[in-house]
Amino acid sequence: PADVCLAYIEGLYAIKGSLIAIQNGPMVPRIVRFALSSDGSKIVAMKILERRNPLFNGITTGVLVSDQLYYVANSHLDKVVGGKIKAGVTLDPLRILAVNVQHQ
């Protein structure tokens, strides 16, 4: 559909006729479920599962376990340059969050 944004996908997972996407871009940090057509050839609907969580700081990859997506909520990738942590930056503890991705 024309109103579905497919940009900034950091992780993409297939489950039960849907695709679960982690999107991390300006004003878009979220996790969505894209429902697929019966033949799997196109997206027919989108549902936002979680967005703009205050714990998000560079959300990225995850893993599906049953109906839960466990994912990294704060990758800190924006705090590293040339393989080194930027001067004066303090890193928060790594946060792994989960969201239920089942059809509702």
Helix (H, G, I), strand (E, B) or coil at 60: strand
Q: What is the pLDDT of residues 71-100, one digit of tens each?
A: 999 998 888 899 899 999 988 899 999 999
pLDDT in tens, 1-51: 888 989 999 899 999 899 999 999 887 899 999 999 999 999 999 999 999
CA atoms within 13 A on the CB side of 86: 9
> Per-residue pLDDT tens for 40-78?
999 999 999 999 899 998 899 999 999 999 999 999 888
* Residue 69 to residues 11, 52, 86, Cα–Cα distance (Å): 11, 16, 30
